[in-house]
Every structure is written in structure tokens, then in C-alpha cells.
Structure 1
Amino acid sequence: MQAPIIDDELWALIEPLLPKPGRRNNECRGRPRVSERAALNGVLFVLRTGIRWNHLPTELGFGSGATCWRRLDAWQKAGVWNRLHALLLDRLRESGQLDLSYAAVDSSSVRAVGAGGKTGPNPTDRARPSSKHHILVDANGVPVSVILTGANRNDVTQLLPLVDAIGPIRGMRGRALRKPKVIYADRGYDSDTHRQRLRDRGIRPVIARRRTEHGSGLGKFRWVVERTHSWLHNFRRLRIRFDRRSDIHEAFLRFAFSLVCWNILKRAQLAF
């Protein structure tokens, strides 16, 4: 199996965001430190394949699974993935690939092996421990914000937090973007209270109502969020949650968000 490689352009964006490693004592002996790029490739290998850390093939030059896990932990604590995602959103807006004329929200449940933080009984999977990925995407399916919760949390409870989690998106002269003009959502978000709170934020809610016939017509707007969930599930580590620590799973999730944004940006560049 060929190892996944972080290409040079993406690495040029990531490298300045990584915390500087501490200086080693000259008298210390032992194995040389695995480079940041090699460790990042190891993290990407785990994200894409879903392989367990202790099965990470060291012959591919990643270093041990423990080394890659420690780097991922340190980078998550340093806020690397949040800053990388914000940087890529700015680039997407600059290239005209970000469209917040409307946004769509939805969630996806993933089984959690061994439970852990931010898990809960999944009402659609015999109450097995699971987590939910709540995401908000723009009109092109660009992932803009994400929240991890237990699977027993109702979707509507995360509607406003998803909107509030949108950071200022720059990339162009003038005011930064902070909110979509319209939000499309399915029946799981049906709440007059939340509709009013969205209006108070200057956002027009278009949310299907419960106990109404199917065929509301929202599918022609909401399909982009379902496609983005599909893109995220191409990363096998996100299909089943193996990490008991919620922050490690969130690190994988936010790294995947950045990779999806990067792929959209690269496709746009190749089109010109």
C-alpha cells in the first residue's frame, strides 16, 4: 500500500502553524527525532485507512504509532487544525469558491468503540455508544463549522452553536463573512424558537416541518451537506470512532475538514 503524502503546497501552509519542537540536550542520546512532515503523513495514513495506531507500518517512514499520536495530540492542543481550516476558508473565499448565500446543516452518527467523552446511546442503533458529527456547509458543500456530541443529542440543539461557531472568513477586502443569509435544514431542526433566533441573527430559516408530507423541495439545496458527509466518510477513521478521548477524534475530524477544503481549492485551481 502506498503511503499518503502531504503535497508540497499544503505542507507550506501547515508547517508555519505547527508548534516548534523543544530543544534536545546535546548530551541526550537515542533515536533521532521523527520529522514533523513524516509524523503528519503517519496521522494522514491513520485517518485515511482507519488503521490502529499500534499497527502503523514504520517501514513507510512515519515513525511509531505512539509518536504520531503524541504529535496529533500536541497539534490539537496548539489549535493547529482550527487555524488551518480558517486559513483555507480564507483562500476559498479569495478564489470565489466560498458561497454563503445559503448554508445547509445536518448530522451523521458514528459508532464509538469503547465509548469515551462526547458519546451517548444511539436511538437508531440499539442504544449502542455513538457520537454525532454536526456540520454546516456553504452552498458549494464547503465544510464551514463542525460540532461533536453524543448520538443522543437532538440535532436542533446544535443548530445555533453551529452558526455561532463560524469564525470571521476573510480573503477579500471589506467585512469578513460571519454568517449565511439562509439556512436549509430537515425536520430534525423543526423549532419555532430556533427559527426566531436565526431571524434575530439576520438569517432566514428554511426548515421542513414535522408531520408534513415529504417532497418539501429542500433536497435541491440540502444535498450538498449530505455529499460532504460522504466525503468525510471516505476517511475511514471517521466511520467508526476508536478514540476514547473526544479531542483526538475532533482532531481527526477537523483535519479531514481541512483536507476537504484543500481538495475543493485544488480542483478550482485546475479548472482555470
Structure 2
Amino acid sequence: MAGSQRGQAIPTQLSLAQFEAFVLPHLSRGSRGPAPKLGLHKIFNYILRLLYMGCQWKELPIEKDGEGRPEIHHTRIYSAFRRWDVDGCMDAIFTGSVLRLHQDNLLDITVIHGDGTTTAAKKGGDNIGFSGHKKVKGDKVVAICDRNCNVIAPFVSAPGNRNESPLLREALPKLRRIAKAVGFDLHGRTVSLDGGYDCRPNCKAIFNQGMIPNINPNSRSRKTPKRGRKPLIDPAIFEERFNTIERLFGWEDKFRRLLLRFDRLSQLHYAFKTLAYTMINLRHFCRS
């Protein structure tokens, strides 16, 4: 059922048991330098707190130790976050969340929804451009989810001035790789998209992946009907996107770090976004 009401409380902190089950197996550990004062569980929760609050690293509220001093310096948390990002830990945690959803039969991939979202970059940085449609300077991503608002593939990022339609052809191979890694079959699945993706190369790419396109026709201001075969579209499936992919982007806005992009390095911004999508997937297992 699209837009299921089951477990929509997006977690912003993980208990020790949840951390050991979903995160710890995918984290790398530093081999040099002094040992961290805190355990990995608490460091990871500080990163989640920053993602949720959207503050600067130096403004991160850090608890006091027995002597009244901060129990850890914010630069140590930042260094751990950078190391995990470079080592590919964030992508591994995300893939692990999709695997767990598949194992617990919480994925409904009979219909796959995709769409793009744009984030304004107020401080500049790399991989940004001016979006004439949104009238902002920033970047965009194209995400893919199932019928239960679970993100099932790594997103594709691009500057804000790029057209979203070609990005879909970059996202489909990533969807295929995650399906192979997790173990679910994409053959015969329906891919639902809006009119911005209505073009022959996209339909061909979807058919080549063994799936069926369900794309809302884009008239492109034609005054007469387009010649040729009429597109096959199920309006009921297309209407689901407002309860799936649009709801997913609404849940993403819960994490204030992603409302506006203040990270000049796009790699850090995308690591936070991957972590937010992971938390959305883990909502089924982290309900209070």
C-alpha cells in the first residue's frame, strides 16, 4: 500500500543495540593516533545530532564530563565523519539498511518512483549551478524509492543547472547494482516518473533494464497531438508519487542540515544526505 502509515517517526538518535545492529559492522576504525575518548556509538550520535540540528560543527552541543569540560572536541567528531566518508562507510550503511528491509519483507518494489530535488547553496562550493526553474543557485539529486517511501538506490547528484532527465539514465545502473547486491529482482517492475523525464532515451533505458516505464506524457506546448504510438500510462500509479517520493523529500527536510547547503565540499553534503536517507529507511526498526 502506497504511503503506509507504519513507522513514520524518523530516528535522529540510535540506541546502542540499534547502532551495533545497523551501523557498527560497516564503520572503519583509525589505525593511527590516540584512541577516541568516547565510543563509536556516541560519536555517531553526535553526527546525527548535527544532521538534525543543522548547526555549525563548533556549535554542536557536547555533553560535559565529570570535571565540567566537554567530553570530546568537535574536531574529533568531524575527523571521524570525514574518515568514514572517505572509507565508504556511509554508502555501506545505506546498502545495509536496504538489505535489512529486503530481508524483513518491508520493500514493495512492484512500483518504483523517482524524482529530483534541488538544494540551495548559500555559501557557494563545488558542483553547483543556477536553476532557472527554482530560481536558486545550488545542486540537485535524483532519488529512487519504493511504494513504502524507502530509498532503494544511491542518488545521483548534479549542479542545479543540469536537466534532470539525463540523470535518470545514470541512476538506473546504480539501482541495478544495489538490486544485485541486496538480492531483489527488478524484471517487470514499473518505474513511475513525472513529465520531466518523458523522452525516448529514458524509456529505452528503462526497457533495457527489464522494467516498464510509467511516465506522465509531456506535451511540450504542442498544439496538435504527437504522432505515433500513444504512451502507456496508468494514472492510478502516477498519483502514488505524491504519497511516496514527495513524502520522502518532506521527511528529508526534517534534517535541517539539508534544508540549505552550507558545506562548500559537495562530498560532505552528499554524505549527510546519504545518512538522512539511511535514517528514513531505518524508521521501521527504530520506532519508540
Which amino acid in structure 2 is aligned with residue 57 of structure 1?
P
What's 1:245 paired with? 265
Which amino acid in structure 2 is aligned with residue 186 of structure 1?
D
Where do 5+ consecutive residues of structure 1 fail to align?
26-30
Q: TM-score, normalised by structure 1?
A: 0.85
Q: How many residues align?
A: 256
Q: Supply the distance in 1 between the matched residues of 2:119 and 2:47 (Cα, whole angstroms).
A: 20
What's 2:140 paired with? 132
Q: 1:55 aligns with which of 53, 59, 80?
A: 59
Q: Supply the distance in 1 between the matched residues of 2:115 and 2:185 (Cα, whole angstroms).
A: 21
What's 2:8 paired with? none
SS at match of 2:37: coil
What's 1:28 paired with? none
Percentage of matched positions with identical amino acids: 21
Are 1:143 and 2:151 counterparts? yes
What's 2:105 paired with? 96
Q: Supply the distance in 2 between the matched residues of 1:44 and 1:73 (Cα, whole angstroms).
A: 14
Cα root mean square deviation, aligned: 2.6
Deviation string for 1:65-96 (max 9, x for gaps)? 32222111110111111111111111111111
8 Å Cα contact 1:92-1:265 kept in structure 2: no
SS at match of 2:83: helix
CA distance 1:266–1:179, change in 2 (3 Å): farther
CA distance 1:103–1:230, change in 2 (3 Å): same
What's 2:168 paired with? 159
8 Å Cα contact 1:107-1:135 kept in structure 2: yes
Q: 2:47 aligns with which of 43, 46, 51?
A: 43
Q: TM-score, normalised by structure 2?
A: 0.80
Q: Following superposition of structure 1 onto structure 2, how do residues 1-272 of structure 1 map, counting pairs within 5 Å?
A: 5-12=13-20, 13-24=22-33, 33-59=37-63, 63-126=72-135, 128-145=136-153, 146-166=155-175, 167-169=177-179, 176-177=184-185, 181-211=189-219, 216-223=235-242, 224-266=244-286
The alpha carbon displacement at 1:171 in A equals 9.5
8 Å Cα contact 1:100-1:180 kept in structure 2: no
Where do 5+ consecutive residues of structure 2 fail to align?
1-11, 65-69, 222-233
Q: Supply the distance in 2 between the matched residues of 1:22 and 1:45 (Cα, whole angstroms).
A: 26
8 Å Cα contact 1:102-1:180 kept in structure 2: no
Greater RCO, CA 8 A, separation 6+: 2
Q: Supply the distance in 2 between the matched residues of 1:62 and 1:230 (Cα, whole angstroms).
A: 34
Deviation string for 1:121-177 (max 9, x for gaps)? 121343x421112100012111112122211111111112222112344798xx543
Q: Supply the distance in 2 between the matched residues of 1:59 and 1:93 (Cα, whole angstroms).
A: 37
